[in-house]
Amino acid sequence: MSGKRYAVGGALLMAALALPPVLRWMESSMIGVMLGQVPLLVVAGWLFGFALPRRFAQLLSRWNENGLPGLLVAISVLSFWILPRSVDASLNEPLMRLAKWMMPPLLTGMPLSLSWKRLHPIARGVVHANVISMLVVMGWLYLAVPARVCNSYLLSQQNALGRMMIALSLVLAAFWSLRLFVAGTANEPETR
């Protein structure tokens, strides 16, 4: 796929997320924001990363030779956006709302798209394990805390998000584990 198509895909995804009915629906629940809107903004940034002109991508590759610097930027920004305080602020403060629309695509999705193939397979596995463990821990916290951690949402939505995060961690663990076994057998040399 050409870079232009990736750029159009990212722009269409962000435009769809900005439509008032979609925006209201996504922001009406914690699940919508944390497991819908923010990850889709990251996907839009991932697509934009593939659309970068080759010359610019080569310039960025000088500081991102093994993929770790881009990964660290992406993880740092994403860690900020999973905090309940950040979610609250993005719903109530215009500057934080703008930051939510700019930071995940530009500082998480794009660095990930530029870094992922450069990462060593073991580093990718560490990222997968970290995502799974982070979802489990955050899900458990959202279920275990008796008070609301996000003032914009009810305790029932917090509990639903906790259950959804734990379920998602199980699905991702099964999917990534299955891929390891399937990829391992498909790429083995044939015996004669």
Residue 56 banded pLDDT, cuts 50, 70, 90: confident
Residue 139: CB partners within 8 Å, gap ≥ 6? Answer: 161, 162, 163, 164, 165, 166, 169
At residue 52, the pLDDT reads: 87
Residue 2 confidence (pLDDT) above 90: no
Percent of the residues in the chain that have a pLDDT greater than 90, as a whole number: 80
- Please state, for a pLDDT cut of 70, what percent of the chain lies above it: 94
- 106-159, pLDDT tens digit by residue? 999 999 999 999 999 999 999 999 999 999 999 999 999 999 998 999 999 999
Instruction: Give the separation between CA 30 and CA 182, rounded to whole angstroms.
Output: 34
Q: Return the DSSP state at 190.
A: P
What is the mean predicted confidence (pLDDT) over 25-53?
95
63-87 confidence digits (pLDDT tens): 888 999 999 999 999 999 988 899 9
pLDDT tens per residue, range 92-108: 999 999 999 999 999 99
**How confident is residue 16, by pLDDT bands cut at 50, 70 and 90?**
very high
Question: What pTM, to 2 d.p., does this model score?
Answer: 0.89
Query: 153: closest CA among 98, 94, 100, 87?
Result: 87
DSSP state of 188: S
158-178 pLDDT, tens digit per residue, is 999 999 999 999 999 999 999
Q: What's the gap between Cα 97 and its chain centre?
A: 17
DSSP 8-state assignment for residue 28: T
**pLDDT at residue 86, as a whole number:** 94
pLDDT of residue 147: 92
